[in-house]
Amino acid sequence: MALFQIEKSKNKDKSENMEIESDLCGVCEKCVPACPHGLIKRVGYSMKVDKDCVNCGECYDSCPLGAIFLE
């Protein structure tokens, strides 16, 4: 989590958003219950983060494949 906290601290102006890289995502949906705001959903064969994401990092920590990042 330390690396994510460093990246998150650079993002105070919300110029970046959490994204799920569809090529890396296994669609395991572990990020869905990890999101305390309910902002991650399955759309077809991929996972999507809602634009209202607050970048808390809970989904980042839950992803076993490292498919979630700030973009």
Domains in the chain with CATH codes: 17-70 (3.30.70.20)
Q: What is the pTM of this model?
A: 0.76
Which pLDDT belongs to residue 62?
Answer: 95
pLDDT at 37: 95
Token pair belonging to 32? 């869905």
Cross-strand pairs, 49: 40
- DSSP letter assigned to residue 57: S
Q: What's the rounded Cα separation, in Å, for the pair 31 and 25?
A: 10
CB of 59 within 8 A of CB of 35? yes
* 4-43 confidence digits (pLDDT tens): 543 544 444 556 889 999 999 999 999 999 999 999 999 9
Amino acid, single-letter form, for residue 14: K
CA distance 52 to 38: 10
